[in-house]
Structure 1
Amino acid sequence: MRKGWSRRPLDEAISENQLKSIFREFDVNRDGKLSRKELKVGLKSIGIRFSGFRAWRAVRHVDANGDGMIGEEEIDELIKYASKWGIIVTP
Structure 2
Amino acid sequence: MRKWCPRQVEVPLVEEQLKGLIRKFDTDGDGKISRRELRVGLRSLGLRFAGFRAFRAVRHADANGDGVISDEEINELAKYVSKWGISIT
TM-score (norm 1): 0.79
> Unaligned regions of 5+ residues in structure 1, if any?
1-10
> Unaligned regions of 5+ residues in structure 2, if any?
1-9
Equivalent pairs counted in the alignment come to 78
* CA displacement 1:4-62 (0-9 Å, x = unmatched): xxxxxxx5311222211110110000101000000000001111110000000000011
If you compute each CA radius of gyration, which structure gives the higher value, 1 or 2?
2
2:12–2:85: 8 Å Cα contact kept in structure 1? no
Deviating beyond 2 angstroms after TM superposition, the runs of 4 or more aligned structure 1 residues are none
Alignment correspondent of 2:36: 37
Percent identity (aligned): 63
TM-score (norm 2): 0.81
Alignment correspondent of 2:74: 75
